[in-house]
Structure formats: structure tokens, C-alpha cells
Amino acid sequence: MPQSEFLFEPLPHTAGFAFHACNPLIEEWIRCWNDTEPLLDIGCGNCINTLKGIQAEAAVVATELDRDSLQQLQEKYSHHQSLHFAYLELPGKIPCKNESISGLLCSEVFHFLDHEEIIASILEFHRVLKVGGKVILTCASEDIAMLSQVGLKQIRRSQREAFPQLLRAYHHHLELLEQACQLKPENHFAWELIQLHQHTYRNNYFNFFHPGQLAEAFRDKGFSITLAETGPAPYYPLWEHGDHDQVRLIAVKE
């Protein structure tokens, strides 16, 4: 989406990946705005999604775990009274009161979390959302095309069948990436992506999700599910894209 469509120019992100395309469920998030409780954008990155909320005249609380980026965002958008920023690294406590948020966007964050962190985060989502408020969430799928030839989906299926409630992250995921790279030695971007992962990720694990399993974790914590599917994510920094790279979930607080 061209930056000219935004009221403000998004800032570069100083850590991690930040995408220059809106979340595919952005309109679902914006429709949560009820003129009273603000929207919450967890892991706002370069503010692409947050700015769409501001364009829709919603009040937005945006969080970020990178303090340098957070300071830049606060300085650039300090004049906008309906936009507030806060530091947050999941599964830490969300800096919002109980039942004070109308809609929560969690875009490309969950795949950096392991099981215990995910469950703690879901409980926090439930705490801050008003009854009827929605979680709009996207994250990496176990059916991601880039790793299909090295058996990721089969590995995850076996783990899921053995422990259906365990959303365990995949440790040593760089080894899988390296195996996939070896199948495409002519693809220089593949090796560049590995180096980017090595310098970016804080932990030596990465999570890949099945939509049904993730939906069940939300149901178990007091949510109903209106969407649990996979879809394409052409803005992911991959050397191969597929139709099921991303999990998309909408959960409603009961």
C-alpha cells in the first residue's frame, strides 16, 4: 500500500522485522472501534496498522518492545491526542486497565513466543478487552511454503497429535532454514534471510501454528472464535511464498 495513503509517513523500525503492508484483517480491527474504548495495536512496528486506525478517527494505544523505535514514534506523533504509545514485551502485563479495550490487533508477534508465553498473553488479552471485544491476530503457519520441503508440517502434526494442547515453539529453527537453503543454493536471498534471523531474533526458537490448535487455546481462556484459517502473506521476507503461510484468527471475548 503506497505511503501516500497515510496521514503520516511511517517511521523505519530499528529492531526486528517491520512490514510495509497492512495486516490483511485491518478492517476487522478498525470495526471494533466503538467511540469509547480505544483500539490496541500490540507490536506496532513502523506504525502501518496504527495509522490506518487513526485515519478511521479511532483512538489507538500502540505498543512496541524496541525502546528506540518507541521514542521515535512518541516524538513524531506527540501532537495527535487520540494516539498513545507504551512499552510492552509479551507476555508482560499490558499497560491498560481491565476491560478498557474495544479491539486488539496482534500482528506477527505470536510466532516469537513459546507455549507458556502464549497462554499468559491470551489471559492478558482477555483481561484488557471489554466483553464482546475482539482479538485480531496473525502469525506464521506450520504450512509455510518456504519450509514445506524440509518436513515442517509433518513435524508439527506429530507434535500436535502427541500433545494437542501444547503450542510449543520450534527450537533451532535456523537449522530448518539452512536445510531449505541447501535445496536452493542458487538463491542468495535465502542465505541473507538466515543472517537476518541470526541478528534479529532474541531467542533460538520460532513458533509455527495450526489455526485449529491456536483457536482452541483461545476458547479455553474464554473466547469464541469467528475466524481461524490460513492465508497468503506476500509481505513476509521469504524467498518462497504460498497460499497458507499465515494463520489468521479472530477471537471474541465472551
- pLDDT tens-digit series, residues 23-57: 999 999 999 999 999 999 999 988 899 999 999 99
Helix (H, G, I), strand (E, B) or coil at 74: helix
Flag whether 197 is in a domain. no
CATH code of 12's domain: 3.40.50.150
Q: Are 7 and 54 in contact (CB under 8 A)?
A: yes
Over pLDDT 90: what percentage of the chain?
A: 68
pLDDT (average), residues 223-239: 93
Q: Are 144 and 37 in contact (CB under 8 A)?
A: no
- Which residues form the domain of 239? 3-142+207-253
List Cβ neighbours of 80 (8 Å cut-off, separation of 6 or more).
Answer: 54
Flag whether 194 is in a domain. no
Flag whether 219 is in a domain. yes
Flag whether 88 is in a domain. yes
Instruction: In whole angstroms, give the CA distance from residue 199 to residue 193.
Output: 10
Q: Which three cell numbers stand for residue 30?
A: 478498525
Flag whether 147 is in a domain. no
Flag whether 111 is in a domain. yes
Greatest mean pLDDT among 11-25, 64-78, 106-120, 188-202: 106-120
The per-residue pLDDT for range 204-217, each reduced to its tens digit, is 789 999 999 999 99
CA distances from 179 to 154, 190, 194, 211 (A): 15, 11, 11, 25
How many domains would you assign to the chain? Answer: 1
Flag whether 110 is in a domain. yes
Flag whether 167 is in a domain. no
Q: pTM for this structure?
A: 0.91
Give the pLDDT confidence score for residue 202 in this predicted structure: 65
Higher pLDDT, 180 or 122: 122
